[in-house]
Amino acid sequence: MVFALAGNQNSGKTTLFNALTGSNRHVGNFPGVTVDRMSGSVRGVKDANVVDLPGIYSLRPYTQEEIVARDFILNEKPDGIINIVDATNIERNLYLTLQLLELRVPTVIALNMMDEVRAAGGTVDIAKLSAALGVPVVPIAAAKGEGVSELIDRAVETAREKRKPAVWDFCAADSPVHRCVHAIVHLIQDHADRDALPSRFCAAKLIEGDAEMANRLGLDENERELIGHCVAELESETGLDAIAALAESRYRFIESVVAAAVVKRGDSPAHTRSLTIDRVLTGKYTAFPAFIAIMCLVFWLTFNVIGSALSDWLGAGIDALTAAVDTWLSATGINPVVHSLLIDGVFAGVGSVLSFLPVVVTLFFFLSILEDTGYMARIAFVMDRPLRKLGLSGRSFVPMLIGFGCTVPAIMASRTVSSDRDRKMTILLTPFMSCSAKIPIYAVFTAAFFPGRGALVMTCLYSAGILLAILSALVLKSTAFRGQPVPFVMELPNYRLPSVKSVALLLWDKAKDFLQRAFTIIFAATIIIWFLQSFDYRLNVVADSADSLLAYVGRFIAPVFVPMGFADWRVATALISGFSAKEAVVSTLSVLLGTGMSELSGALGVLFTTRSAVSFLVFTLLYTPCVAAVATLRRELGSRLATLGVVAAQCAVAWVAAYAVYLIGGLFV
């Protein structure tokens, strides 16, 4: 059996998915966490899977999320639907429920957050609600695991018995909407039956002007005209456009159901607390200062206090292990080439990157706290107005925010952006957000040239990326992407205490991803760099790396970087290796300079001055992201030529910005 898990954003859908499957799936409070569907086996039930669909507010194919959800249910025909409904905001959630019931698929409603309803002194008459909707309703509190077992039992029972919803007509009898829907159902019945589609659902989509549904049903020109006449008559009688008339009809039904089955005593303590906090965090004059203060605090704790201290300890441990292995290899008289491979290649390269694991984990710890509390959703809300001036909507801020972690999921998260124009613009701007893979580069250069000022340097670099993204957005808005962004609608969830499990799972995912990169991409890049550095073109071992294959390649490219103050071939080589993974820049410099992590910062003085180091940091901030990000960019844009153009533009912007910084730096030196 296959169950589709469907619901609004921020209704606890992914939390329920984890409870149903025991999945190590991260729970988020903002749109974009669930971009594609995710599946898992239902615990305690043999041969039963649940598919976590993106959070949506309706089944109109307006956003990529709605298309993914609708197409899965219509095309893959799950055995049942588990519709999660936020009991604290039941009116808004039931709008999607009515559309799901029109699909005529066995459905069970999971009435989530009932603990918050009870805390506010409210009640829900489950029997009345179930009778009014014609499907089983199970009260649950997914975060606490309450009612999940009963939900599984009812969902399996409903699916096995193929028990379809008993109620699917929500229009008032003899209303204009009722007449219009039934006239269209009569017209398309044969088409819908042929394709095994629910006729009422199809009729509703046609009233909403869904051209894709009309094409899918194979309607001829005459039938389309008749439908147009029905819709025109509906609009004439109601004085509303067809979509608004249909929505009004649904909400009248919802209001009658809620009036009979739901008793509200007042706002929940969580909602009252959220309103109080939002007076500061989303206030007209306090939102931006609060956001800047919070992010500066996060950077200070990460790069100057907690993360840097843990990184120093781990780096010292790796250096001690490297020294011990070096001594042991020398004592055993192992082949000098193998000795060099292990110490100068593997330990110097991979070890230098591993030492930054605590910094990455610490940064994501604070970001996950902000996300789980519900603050990330507020940031997107606050950023909507300024982003609209740049030609984007607040929804675009979510992928950009994810870009501070990794560019790959950030580009994929752009699918949540409604219009094609806004989505492509978001994709082009996301790489300006500095991903976590660049943290090792920043940390090494900060320690070498700006000791004790880590938080300030990091803040300046991240701010520079954001500033250049803003300037690029203004250029794109006036040239290739003229027009206005689509309206942005978003629910602000209540503030909640972070889930220890959720935070721990996110940290584990990020640490695992970092370690996998360290022992796959970076390991391979390190070995290649070591080989090219150790041999000449006749494959003879070189005594000086300046005579190696790597030096030859680096010298060929190095002139490009002369205007920016770092013309050494070793720097050019490190930037090339950064195309595989940005962490490889540090590992390559470590291998080429023949130093461990603790000595690398001191050794950089051979290659850079303070002025050229700043120029180098700006270049690494802006130049093309890793190969994986470029491949994702190619998939999302659907064009090799466009992807090559974006890569070339990113490198050009990085070169110009770094050169400008170097010139400006000359005025102060």
| Distance between CA atoms of residues 319 and 252, nearest Å | 69
- What are the backbone angles phi and psi of residue 483, rounded to the nearest 5°? 120, -175
Helix, strand, coil % (nearest 5) of the chain? 70, 5, 25
Place of tokens 């608004």: 244
**What's 393's DSSP letter?**
-
Q: What percent of the chain has pLDDT over 90?
A: 23
The angle formed by the CA atoms of residues 586, 459 and 497, to the nearest 5 degrees, is 105
The angle formed by the CA atoms of residues 377, 280 and 383, to the nearest 5 degrees, is 40
Res 30: pLDDT: 35
Res 31: pLDDT: 39
Q: 198: helix, coil or strand? A: coil
Nearest to 155 by CA among 198, 117, 105, 197: 105
Q: 83: helix, coil or strand? A: strand
Nearest to 445 by CA among 563, 666, 619, 581: 619
Res 28: pLDDT: 41
| Distance between CA atoms of residues 561 and 618, nearest Å | 13
Task: Show the tokens assigned to 459.
Answer: 């803040």
Residue 33 has pLDDT above 50, yes or no: no
pLDDT digits (tens, 9 = 90+) for 629-659: 787 788 778 788 888 998 899 999 999 999 9
DSSP letter for each residue of 226-287:
HHHHHHHHHHHHHSS-HHHHHHHHHHHHHHHHHHHHEE--S--HHHHHHHHHHHHHT-TTTH
pLDDT digits (tens, 9 = 90+) for 211-251: 888 898 898 999 999 999 999 999 999 998 898 999 999 99
| Distance between CA atoms of residues 312 and 304, nearest Å | 11
Task: Show the tokens assigned to 131.
Answer: 């009778």
Res 62: pLDDT: 66
- What are the backbone angles phi and psi of residue 216, rounded to the nearest 5°? -65, -35
Banded pLDDT at 271 (limits 50, 70, 90): confident
Place of tokens 């609060």: 290
DSSP letter for each residue of 594-651:
T--HHHHHHHGGGT--HHHHHHHHHHHHHS---HHHHHHHHHHHT-HHHHHHHHHHHH
| Distance between CA atoms of residues 618 and 438, nearest Å | 11
Q: 146: helix, coil or strand? A: strand
Res 143: pLDDT: 82
Length of the chain: 669
Place of tokens 């996110």: 506
Nearest to 465 by CA among 281, 623, 610: 623
Res 656: pLDDT: 93
Give the mean model confidence (pLDDT) for residues 321-346: 84
Banded pLDDT at 349 (limits 50, 70, 90): low
Task: Show the tokens assigned to 98.
Answer: 């009515």
pLDDT digits (tens, 9 = 90+) for 43-100: 888 889 898 888 888 887 666 677 778 888 888 899 999 999 999 889 889 999 999 9
Helices (H) and strands (E) in the chain, counts: 32, 8
Banded pLDDT at 425 (limits 50, 70, 90): confident
- What are the backbone angles phi and psi of residue 487, rounded to the nearest 5°? -60, 150
Is residue 355 within 8 Å of 314, Cβ to Cβ?
yes
Is residue 397 within 8 Å of 383, Cβ to Cβ?
yes
Place of tokens 């991260």: 26
Count of CB atoms situated within 10 Å of the CB of 348 = 28
Is residue 388 within 8 Å of 485, Cβ to Cβ?
yes
Give the mean model confidence (pLDDT) for residues 324-333: 88
